């Protein structure tokens, strides 16, 4: 079974509108972390936002916020006021412990296109 599921292969949004990118996860580790990364066409991976499993409040970083619903095991990324530069691949990832180590598992990504 997939640990991280991103159900939207592609999403379109109009400039200046908000968009939500979905991410659901599966883990039995009580202490885990969730990350979102952006990958523009140039290829680099850019960290956007982090949510810890024990964090009481949803994480926010500028125009990015994470809608964390622990009981539903979802960690959706919300981008407000979309800009043309937001067009990119977006990856959800989960850090979980395995034995004495930890792993970071990525979803397959969502390609966001912002239309002018």
Partner 1 sequence: EAQVTQNPRYLITVTGKKLTVTCSQNMNHEYMSWYRQDPGLGLRQIYYSMNVEVTDKGDVPEGYKVSRKEKRNFPLILESPSPNQTSLYFCASRLTMGGRNEQFFGPGTRLTVL
Residues in region 38-77 near partner 1 by CB under 8 A:
43-45, 47, 50, 52
Q: Tell me which residue of 30, 13, 20, 36 sits closest to 85, measured CA to CA.
A: 13
Output the smallest distance, CB 84 to partner 1, in A: 23
Which of 75, 88, 109, 112 is close enough to bind partner 1 by CB under 8 A? 109
Q: What is the DSSP string of 39-98?
A: E-TT---EEEEEEETT-SS--EETTEEEEEETTTTEEEEEE-S--GGG-EEEEEEEEEEE
Residues in the chain: 116
Closer to partner 1 by Cβ: residue 7 or 115: 7
Distance from chain centroid for Cα 112: 12
* Min separation Cβ 61 and partner 1, Å: 11
Is residue 33 at the binding interface for partner 1, with CB under 8 A as the rule? Answer: yes
Size of the site for partner 1 (CB under 8 A): 24
Binding site for partner 1 (CB under 8 A): 4, 31, 33, 35, 37, 43-45, 47, 50, 52, 91, 93, 95, 97, 101-109
């Amino acid at each position: 079974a997939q640990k991280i599921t991103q159900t939207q292969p592609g999403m379109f949004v109009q400039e200046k509108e908000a968009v939500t990118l979905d991410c659901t996860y599966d883990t039995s580790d009580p202490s885990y972390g969730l990350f979102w990364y952006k990958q523009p066409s140039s290829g680099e991976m850019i960290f956007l936002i982090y949510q810890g499993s024990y964090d009481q409040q949803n994480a926010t970083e500028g125009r990015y916020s994470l809608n964390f619903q622990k009981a539903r095991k979802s960690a959706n990324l919300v981008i407000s006021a979309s800009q043309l530069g937001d067009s990119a691949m977006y990856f959800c990832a989960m850090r979980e412990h395995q034995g004495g180590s930890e792993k970071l598992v990525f979803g397959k990504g969502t390609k966001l296109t912002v239309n002018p």
